[in-house]
Amino acid sequence: MFLAVQQGWGDEAIRFWRSTHVGLAAVGVWSIATGAAFGHLVLEKRGASVLAWSIIVSHYAVSIAILVRGLAKPLDFDVAALPFRPLWLGSLDVSAIAGFVAAIVTIHGASAAVRAAKTNARHGASAAA
């Protein structure tokens, strides 16, 4: 981003690098938040593994897409053309699908945790009565 600003690459390049930095920060926050919530989710071993690996795959895939786009610009290549297009769009697709899987598994684990808490609260209330 520093080079884009200093060398006057234009608004599009500066916007790309700004969104890249914000995107990577968001990915980091997502990882930290998921890690913090992970112990509270009710997931079987397989579900926990799917959640962890889907987040890892999503983050690495988006990093690859950013790297491809970032390398294409200074080399004066169009990222939407061959040979970059399949790698760039494929990485974005993989990231989106893996992120969606992670979201679904997280919601499933959170829903199961809420149901378990409600069941435990009911059993505790009936035992006290």
**Looking at the domain assignment, is residue 14 inside a domain?**
no
User: Would the pLDDT of 58 be above 70?
Assistant: yes
86 to 71, 98, 127: CA distances (angstroms): 15, 17, 60
Residue 5: the pLDDT is 75
| Stretch 45-72: mean pLDDT | 91
Residue range 71-106, pLDDT digits in tens: 887 777 887 787 788 888 999 999 999 999 999 999
Instruction: Decide: 65 and 97 in contact? Cβ < 8 Å.
Output: no
Residue range 10-27, pLDDT digits in tens: 787 777 778 777 878 888
User: Would the pLDDT of 114 be above 70?
Assistant: yes
**Looking at the domain assignment, is residue 48 inside a domain?**
yes
Instruction: State the Cα–Cα distance between residues 55 and 107, nearest whole angstrom.
Output: 14
**Looking at the domain assignment, is residue 24 inside a domain?**
no
**Looking at the domain assignment, is residue 10 inside a domain?**
no
**Looking at the domain assignment, is residue 37 inside a domain?**
yes
Instruction: State the Cα–Cα distance between residues 80 and 118, nearest whole angstrom.
Output: 50
Residue 22: the pLDDT is 82
**Looking at the domain assignment, is residue 53 inside a domain?**
yes
pTM confidence score: 0.77
Rounded to 10 degrees, what is the CA torsion of 39, 42, 44, 50? Answer: -70
**Looking at the domain assignment, is residue 85 inside a domain?**
yes
Structural domain boundaries enclosing 45: 30-128
> How many domains does the chain contain in total?
1
Give the type of residue at 44. Answer: E
**Looking at the domain assignment, is residue 46 inside a domain?**
yes
